Amino acid sequence: MEPTIVQQLEPVGPVDRRRHEAVRDLARELRVEGTRQEINSIRSNPELNMDVNSRLGDGRTASDIAQPGGFRREFIEPHISNDPARTQYAQRPLVKHVHDRMHLYGGVQFLSHVAQDSFGDDEDEDGKPTKTKKCTLGMALTCALCMVSSMLSGYDQGVIAGAIGTMREDLHLNSFEEEVSIGILNIAAAIGGVITGPLADMIGRKKTIAIANALFLIGSVILTFATSFTYLMLGRIVMGLGVGASLVAPSIFTAEMVPASMRGMMVACNDLADNFGILLGYTVGIIFWGVENGWRIMFFIGIIPSVLILLFIWTVPESPRWLVYKGKSVMAKAALLRVGSTPETVEADLAKIERGQQHQAGADEGEASWMDVICPGDALTRSMIFAGMGVAFFSQASGTEAIVYYSPTVLEKAGLVGKQALLGTMGVGTCKIIFLAIGSSLFDRLGRQPLLIASGLGLGFAFLVEGFSQMINSASLAVVGLCLAMSSFSLGFSPLTYVVPTEVFPTRVRAKAMSLALFTTRLLAGVISLSFLSLQELLTPEGIWFVAAAIAGLSVVFVILYVPETKGRTLEEVEGVFRHRLQQSENRVYVKFDEFAAQTRRRVTNIQCTLV
């Protein structure tokens, strides 16, 4: 467990009661974006270290500083005073350092909503440590229902592989109808994801999940009793809308219900459940392969979890952040009490969420529009949306979805035919789930950015291996490349496609932005899977993999430049990280502009001298 801010500061010089109180007061006031970095800079800087101790020798005791307004008198007023003595005091290293930090983060308006409400040990108003929020029954049930909903989404995607064979015979489908019945689900999922955003903002996260599972139920019933291609299409479209909604709503709901220390793992578990559902669909398809009306039984099985979710979803609380967003503070307080807050801390937790939403960049009253997502009016929101959308884009741009669809072809080239190829596909899916589980356990230990970088590098290497296998016609090497690609993708980009956007998108536009991210991934997945064979002919069998390796390399560059680490930060604190990065970027632009202006002046002067 990481030490508290006070514990991090204590090793600075000799410890006594007065100094401890003064340092504790400083730690409280510095609890803003970048706190950990600022504290480390104070501890490692000898001048600032000395000033922490020496300020107690100016007749200003720790108790004076701890009084209301005391910190302002010590660190703010000297910069707005005409008193020469106070102005001189303002130039002391620590005072100037703190003032600069406050100016960087928006003046004296501290964004206190990023106080470490989910970081492990913290302090209450008396400086006493408080315990990390524990997993409550309401939190556990919420996460469980979200995972089952995601699993059902995956099941509905995977079960068609085993069902399509007997469906073709019973419903007399031709090749075109067979392809459309398989591909229509992705198109409907993309549309469903876009609809889910405004729906989740309008009626709440919990009700949106209920609607998604109602769609699963209706679609499964239609498919179970389908007697023609028309009913088959209708059922797949309805089910696709539910899949799209379940790829968005559970991730948002989970991210807003669990503390930061658990958020990465729990949101990633939704993706793990989705992939487990796909594997379950494959398994059910093999079990009922060749059974009379087996495909109807496969779809009927999907009715069971959707009914259970519709029964139990009403027993969990609504998202406190959505309730605050809708102005329902009383209901938000009740929800917080069910997901980890105590009667002693619920008011503070509610206040942090309220302040976080008040300080959201560009947070105007009313519902966020699609223009706020597509063309945000301020640089901070643009940078946050750009980072989340970039992760979603690169998760599919390298062609990983094509691997899922065309892995049986690769396995057939390796010598696996018929049912063996389907069993081999299950093996690849099992490998994917194993690495998803490994990645999920590492998110909150190693962080999001390192795993995204490792995933991108692994994909690039795997695609190079796949390309060389095509050049030398090695089926075994092709299988190795396929397994490496699936493992690398599952380790980082696959689950983090849902984790990172939920963390970096601002609250006001989070639902719509997540819908747009889902639409992007589904659209890319559809385009790549439908054009893979044509691209292979155009770029040659090995060339297409080299292009995919290049795209994977670009994804690594993008993550390094634009995606900051979000591990262990509250959703509100992530905004502060982007603000800090944006400020640094602006400062670099100003410096380069000043250098350019100086060079221009020198050139003009030289030209004038030459003319004279």
Packing angle of the helix pair 493-504, 475-491 (nearest 10 deg): 20
Q: Which residue has the tokens 């139990």?
A: 312
pLDDT at 551 over 90: yes
pLDDT at 538 over 70: yes
Question: pLDDT over 90 for what percent of the chain?
Answer: 9
Mean pLDDT in the chain?
A: 71
> Considering Cα of 183, then 185, then 187, then 190, what sign does the dihedral take?
negative
Percentages helix, strand, coil for the chain (3-state, rounded to 5) are: 80, 0, 20
Q: What is the mean pLDDT of residues 485-500?
A: 83
Say how far apart CA 442 and CA 526 lie, in whole Å.
30
Query: Do the domains 376-570 and 137-316 match in fold?
Result: yes
Express each pLDDT in 27-62 by its tens digit: 444 443 344 444 444 444 444 444 444 444 444 444
Say how far apart CA 23 and CA 53 lie, in whole Å.
9
CATH class of 376-570: mainly alpha
Query: So where are the chain's domains?
Result: 5-97, 137-316, 376-570
Q: Hey, what are 335's tokens? A: 């929800």
Q: What is the DSSP string of 30-54?
A: T-STTHHHHHHHHHH-HHHHHHHHH
Comparison of pLDDT for 215 and 130, the residue scoring more: 215
Say how far apart CA 306 and CA 310 lie, in whole Å.
6
> Considering Cα of 535, then 456, then 443, then 512, what sign does the dihedral take?
negative
Say how far apart CA 440 and CA 430 lie, in whole Å.
15
Rg for the chain, CA atoms, rounded: 28
Task: Please provide the CATH number assigned to the domain covering 137-316.
Answer: 1.20.1250.20
Is residue 130 classed as helix, strand or coil in its secondary structure? strand
Express each pLDDT in 280-337 by its tens digit: 887 887 788 778 888 899 999 989 989 999 998 888 888 888 888 787 878 888 877 7
User: pLDDT-derived band of residue 17, with 50, 70 and 90 as boundaries?
Assistant: very low
Say how far apart CA 455 and CA 401 lie, in whole Å.
15
What's residue 223's pLDDT? 92
User: pLDDT-derived band of residue 270, with 50, 70 and 90 as boundaries?
Assistant: confident
For residues 287 and 183, the answer to whether their CB atoms sit within 8 Å is: no
Which of 87-91, 148-152, 295-299, 467-471 shows the lowest per-residue confidence on average (mean pLDDT)? 87-91
Max mean pLDDT among 97-101, 194-198, 355-359, 488-492 falls in 488-492
pLDDT at 543 over 70: yes
What's residue 531's pLDDT? 73
Residue 76 neighbours by CB distance under 10 Å: 18
Say how far apart CA 612 and CA 608 lie, in whole Å.
6
Q: What is the DSSP string of 171-212?
A: HT--HHHHHHHHHHHHHHHHHHHHHHHHHHHHH-HHHHHHHH
Max mean pLDDT among 268-272, 357-361, 455-459 falls in 455-459
